Amino acid sequence: DNKDSSSSRTIYGDTKTAGSICLLLQAALPCALLGCNNNNNSPTHLILKGGTNASMAPQYDYWEHVFWPTLQKGFGIPSRHVQ
């Protein structure tokens, strides 16, 4: 996490297993997009490490075809805000 509030913020999440990055993303992305950032609208970078198709967790395909389109349509989040 950067200490300078005028620069971008980087948040690291590592399950240290094949645990689902999609679960990490579902928890972290709304905060990053909707307000748990600094006051000057600089970007937040999420670096997530783990599995993409863990059992008993949302698969990456769910993120790509359901969760992300829902955020885009339901909340008006442009795709350029997530890379």
Instruction: List per-residue pLDDT tens for the chain, 83 residues long.
Output: 444 455 678 888 898 988 888 888 888 887 777 665 555 667 788 888 988 887 788 888 888 899 888 888 887 877 776 66
Question: Could you tell me the pTM of the whole model?
Answer: 0.66
* Exposure b/e, 15-38, CB count within 10 A at least 16 = b: eeeebbbbbbbeebbeebeeeebe
